[in-house]
C-alpha cells in the first residue's frame, strides 16, 4: 500500500504515520525527518535545507525530489510506503507519480488530516521531539513517561527551531499557498480521504484504519 499524508503543520501527519507504519508493516518516509537527519549529520543537503526550514519556507523542489527519489529506491519500500510531508507542491506531485510509475507503482490513498488553525498553533507550541529517533510527544496530549526523555530510545527531547510562533505562522501560510492545492488534485484523482483530527491521537488512528479498510 502506498499512502500519502497530507495536511497543515501540526495536524498530526508524523504522529499518525509512525503508528500506521507499525500497523501496516511498511516504512514511514518523512521529508522533514530526512532533512533534519541530514542537518544532524552536517551534510551539504542538511545545510542547504536549514536556511529554508528556519524560515518556514519550502526547500526547492529539485533538492527535495532528488532526496525522495534516493529514498524510494531502497528495497524496504518494495511492499509500500507512508509518505509524510511529501509531496508538498504540484511539481513534487508530478515527480512522485513518475518515480512510482518507474517502479510499476501507484498511490492508493491520500489521507488529508485537518485541524483548526488555533489547534495547530496550540499543538506545535507544546510539541517535543526526540533528538535521536524523532519520536513525537506533546506536553498536553501525549507527554513522555519521564520529563525530557524519549519513551522509545531514551534520547533527549527538544523543541524544533521552526516551532516558534512566527515561523509556525509562516509555515501555515506556505501550506495554504503551495500545498493546499494538492487536496483538490487528489480529490479529483478519487484518492482523497479526509480525517478530522479532533478527539485525541488514538481516536484519529482508529478513524484512519477504518477509512483505509473501506477504501
Ligand atoms: P515537516 O517536518 O514536514 O513539518 P510540517 O509539515 O510543518 O509538519 P509538522 O511535522 O510540524 O506537523 P505534523 O503534521 O507532522 O504533526 P505532528 O504529528 O508532529 O517539515 C519541516 C520543514 O522541512 C518545512 O517547513 C520545509 O522547510 C521542509 N520540508 C519538508 N518537506 C518538504 C517538502 N516536501 N518540500 C519542501 N520542503 C520540505 O503533531 C504535532 C503535535 O500535535 C505533536 O506534539 C503531537 O503529539 C500532537 N498531536 C498529534 N495529533 C494529535 C491529536 N489528534 N490530538 C492532540 N494532539 C495531537
Ligand atoms: Mg511532521
Ligand atoms: Zn527517541
Q: Give tens-digit pLDDT for 57-99.
A: 999 999 999 999 999 999 999 999 999 999 999 999 999 999 9
The reported pLDDT for the residue numbered 145 is 98
- Identify the active-site residue in 13, 36, 71, 123: 13
Percentage of the chain modeled with pLDDT above 90: 99
Strand bridging mode 157-158 / 127-130: antiparallel
The reported pLDDT for the residue numbered 22 is 97
Q: What would the pLDDT profile of 131-146 be if each residue is shown by its tens digit?
A: 999 999 999 999 999 9
The reported pLDDT for the residue numbered 201 is 97
C-alpha of residue 157 to centroid of ligand 3, in Å: 8
**DSSP characters over 74-113:** SGGGTT-EEEES---SHHHHHHHHHHHHHTT----EEEEE
171 is catalytic: yes
C-alpha of residue 12 to centroid of ligand 2, in Å: 7
The reported pLDDT for the residue numbered 215 is 82
What is the distance between the alpha carbons of residues 200 and 53, in angstroms, rounded to a whole number?
A: 28
13 is catalytic: yes
CB-CB contact of 156 with 124 (8 Å): no
In this model, does residue 18 exceed pLDDT 90? yes
127 is catalytic: yes
- Identify the active-site residue in 36, 123, 171, 207: 171
CB-CB contact of 88 with 94 (8 Å): no
**pTM value?**
0.97
Q: What would the pLDDT profile of 144-191 be if each residue is shown by its tens digit?
A: 999 999 999 999 999 999 999 999 999 999 999 999 999 999 999 999
- At 57, list the grid cell: 519556507
Q: What is the DSSP letter of 177?
A: I
Pick from 113, 119, 162: nearest CA to 7 = 113
Q: Collapse the DSSP code of 128 into the 3-class scheme (helix H, G, I; strand E, B; otherwise coil) and give the result.
A: strand
Mutate to test the pocket of ligand 1, among 21, 65, 123, 157 (most ligand atoms within 8 A of CB): 123
- Strand arrangement of the beta sheet that strand 127-130 belongs to: 136-138, 127-130, 157-158
What is the distance between the alpha carbons of residues 99 and 85, in angstroms, rounded to a whole number?
A: 16
Ligand 1, CB within 6 Å, residue ranges: 7, 9-15, 31-32, 35, 52-53, 56-59, 64, 85-86, 88, 92, 123-124, 127, 136-138, 141-142, 162, 171, 197, 200-201, 204
Using alpha carbons, list the distances in angstroms from residue 145 to 107, 138, 195.
36, 11, 28
- Identify the active-site residue in 71, 123, 127, 207: 127
C-alpha of residue 33 to centroid of ligand 3, in Å: 13
C-alpha of residue 53 to centroid of ligand 2, in Å: 13
Strand bridging mode 2-6 / 109-114: parallel
What is the distance between the alpha carbons of residues 95 and 210, in angstroms, rounded to a whole number?
A: 29
What number is the average pLDDT over the span 116-122? 95
- 2-116+179-214 topology per CATH: Rossmann fold (3.40.50)
- Identify the active-site residue in 105, 160, 169, 187: 160
122 is catalytic: no
Amino acid at each position: 500500500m502506498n499512502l500519502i499524508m497530507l495536511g497543515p503543520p501540526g495536524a498530526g501527519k508524523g504522529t499518525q504515520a509512525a503508528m500506521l507504519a507499525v500497523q501496516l508493516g511498511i516504512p514511514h518516509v518523512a521529508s522533514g525527518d530526512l532533512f533534519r537527519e541530514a542537518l544532524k549529520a552536517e551534510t551539504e543537503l542538511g545545510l542547504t535545507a536549514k536556511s529554508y526550514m528556519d524560515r518556514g519556507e519550502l526547500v526547492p523542489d529539485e533538492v527535495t525530489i532528488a532526496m525522495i527519489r534516493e529514498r524510494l529506491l531502497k528495497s524496504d519500500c518494495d511492499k509500500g510506503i507512508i509518505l509524510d510531508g511529501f509531496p508538498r507542491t504540484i511539481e513534487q506531485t508530478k515527480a512522485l507519480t513518475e518515480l512510482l510509475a518507474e517502479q510499476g507503482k501507484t498511490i492508493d490513498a491520500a489521507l488529508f488530516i485537518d485541524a483548526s488553525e488555533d489547534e495547530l498553533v496550540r499543538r506545535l507550541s507544546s510539541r517535543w521531539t526526540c533528538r535521536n529517533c524523532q519520536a513525537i510527544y506533546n506536553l498536553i496530549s501525549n507527554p513522555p513517561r519521564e520529563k525530557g526523555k524519549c519513551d522509545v530510545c531514551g534520547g533527549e527531547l527538544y523543541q524544533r527551531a521552526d516551532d516558534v510562533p512566527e515561523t509556525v505562522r509562516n509555515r501555515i501560510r506556505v501550506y495554504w499557498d503551495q500545498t493546499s492545492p494538492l487536496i483538490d488534485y487528489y480529490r479529483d484523482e478519487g484518492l482523497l480521504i479526509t480525517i478530522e483530527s479532533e478527539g485525541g491521537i488514538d481516536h484519529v488512528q482508529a478513524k484512519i484504519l477504518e477509512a483505509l479498510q473501506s477504501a
